[in-house]
Structure 1
């Protein structure tokens, strides 16, 4: 499914993407997150509680094979990444909140992911298939070290960090395009002939994250701009990180390729679904200005005489 050359290129690109993610973060982002705890808590809970539970529920409902179930659960347990911030930009979301959520979820991954994987993958383990949490943690450390390096570069040089951040975000899309162009033609028949359950789950995980993130935020009284941000941060997982964890944690290449299948399908479909969702979010955002959801903006316009009671 994945050739040795593609695996080597993927690993190299993943490290570069994680470095670019680090270039977008700083200790200031963590401090800013504390100033708006409600939105951050909602986004964090959507990311680390809802997504794994959604993946687990779909895997059980469709009675997926153990390897496929573990693969989609690994994807669901990953934090968000630079790609979600890119879509937030086009969707007119709250970029400060997006970066804050990426900071918090990425920083918590080393603790949250092993716990979540231990809980949700246990029912799918078998004699020939076990998730080695120690290997997962080592894989996470290997992927998070470049994030720390990127944060250090930003501390030293904002200009260079900005360039690397943009390069990392673009490379995240390139990784997906690379897989589509190199991997998809060889595996198109396999995708078409795949069980409907894996296709539905790969698409449904992202769509479910978008829907829950948005309406859960609205239910809690957040404005639409932040709801869009939480929705995109929830539905768009860090696919490259999932690839790295699977490739580094499972020494049996045949088994790793089987587990990788749901992650590859998710990454392929999420670009398409996120593009469509972002398009509609952007259209709706043009109408929101007239609703004046932000009371501070409304009051300021009244004060300056632009609006009358």
Structure 2
């Protein structure tokens, strides 16, 4: 188990490298990954189950200990990124599929990697975990509502269908993961160090499936989408940090909120795009997954040195 844990730790540290590598391979050999597409929701469920296994009752108690900071982080998560996505879609006059894809990413809760990045940045990790927990639990209601609000202009959006999907692939696996940890405490505790490896494998496979299945869309508009993804992520990090600073939170909390706002659950965005819209709408999620796992560690490195 120790050797697997070491491999898992290495995979977590080199996550961005594997995302890029698999993305490139999938672009040139799409047939090796497109068969995964029907299983994207299942893979996301595995990731969220692993996230649930890392959560404890204490993580939710932290909300009571710093309610203002958690409220700021969750509110920022579900306002800044959706508004930025809508603004970018309008400013760049995106096609309906790509516009909806960008908005999907913006309306998702924080990414599971944000807690690790916050830790590496010497940020308030307890706050990061609390915000991720609350935003994930709130996602079944807030994410479909925001997608309906901002994306209906481009494509038909079914709130009820999105709500059911997020319950199935996010909330139920997370609850099952928490339950498994509560019931099988010691066994799960031993398995938790391996979960980063499982998550890395699942996410890179999802990215590979999206890239492989949308090769033509990436060729025609990949540079534009990547530019929007970089702007979306970068502005999210900056505005999140600026908001926390304006509200006079301490520096470690400013870093945590910045990372929570800027790093999205792009796997969820890809799963929703494929299940409810057009496969091309999953491309922004795939590129976001690639980029925020580069920008996040980069921001952490800069903050760590300060």
TM-score tier after normalising by the smaller chain length: 0.7 to 0.9
- Which residue matches 1:71? 101
Shift, 1:106, TM fit: 0.6
| Aligned pairs for 1:1-20 within 5 A | 4-20=34-50
| Aligned pairs for 1:122-161 within 5 A | 122-125=152-155, 130-143=156-169, 144-161=171-188
Match of 2:57 among 16, 21, 27: 27
Question: Residues 15 and 180 of structure 1: is their aligned pair in 2 closer, same or farther, counting only changes over 3 Å?
Answer: closer
SS of structure 2 residue aligned to 1:29: helix
Shift, 1:203, TM fit: 1.4
Deviations 1:174-228 (A, max 9, x none): 3444456676588678546526432221111111111111121111111111111
2:36, 2:205 within 8 Å by CA — same for their partners in 1? no
TM normalised by structure 1 equals 0.81
2:210, 2:270 within 8 Å by CA — same for their partners in 1? no
Question: Residues 240 and 160 of structure 1: is their aligned pair in 2 closer, same or farther, counting only changes over 3 Å?
Answer: farther
- 2:285 is equivalent to residue 259 of structure 1: no
- Which residue matches 2:237? 210
Match of 1:244 among 271, 275, 280: 271
Name which of structure 1's ranges 274-283 and 239-248 shifts more when overlaid on structure 2: 239-248
Measured in 1, the distance between the counterparts of 2:167 and 2:214 equals: 31
Shift, 1:70, TM fit: 0.7
Shift, 1:259, TM fit: 0.9
Shift, 1:9, TM fit: 4.8
Shift, 1:20, TM fit: 0.9
Name which of structure 1's ranges 137-146 and 47-56 shifts more when overlaid on structure 2: 137-146
Question: Residues 206 and 171 of structure 1: is their aligned pair in 2 closer, same or farther, counting only changes over 3 Å?
Answer: farther
| Aligned pairs for 1:1-309 within 5 A | 4-125=34-155, 130-143=156-169, 144-178=171-205, 191=218, 193-194=220-221, 196-250=223-277, 255=278, 257-284=279-306
2:229, 2:291 within 8 Å by CA — same for their partners in 1? yes
Question: Residues 156 and 217 of structure 1: is their aligned pair in 2 closer, same or farther, counting only changes over 3 Å?
Answer: same
Instruction: Calculate the aligned-residue CA RMSD, in Å.
Output: 2.4
Instruction: Mark the runs of 5 or more structure 1 residues left unpaired by the alignment.
Output: 285-309
SS of structure 2 residue aligned to 1:222: coil
Question: Residues 187 and 78 of structure 1: is their aligned pair in 2 closer, same or farther, counting only changes over 3 Å?
Answer: closer
Number of aligned residues? 275
Instruction: Mark the runs of 5 or more structure 2 residues left unpaired by the alignment.
Output: 1-29
SS of structure 2 residue aligned to 1:124: coil
2:53, 2:181 within 8 Å by CA — same for their partners in 1? yes
2:70, 2:131 within 8 Å by CA — same for their partners in 1? yes
Shift, 1:11, TM fit: 3.3
Shift, 1:66, TM fit: 1.0
Shift, 1:157, TM fit: 3.1
1:172, 1:240 within 8 Å by CA — same for their partners in 2? no
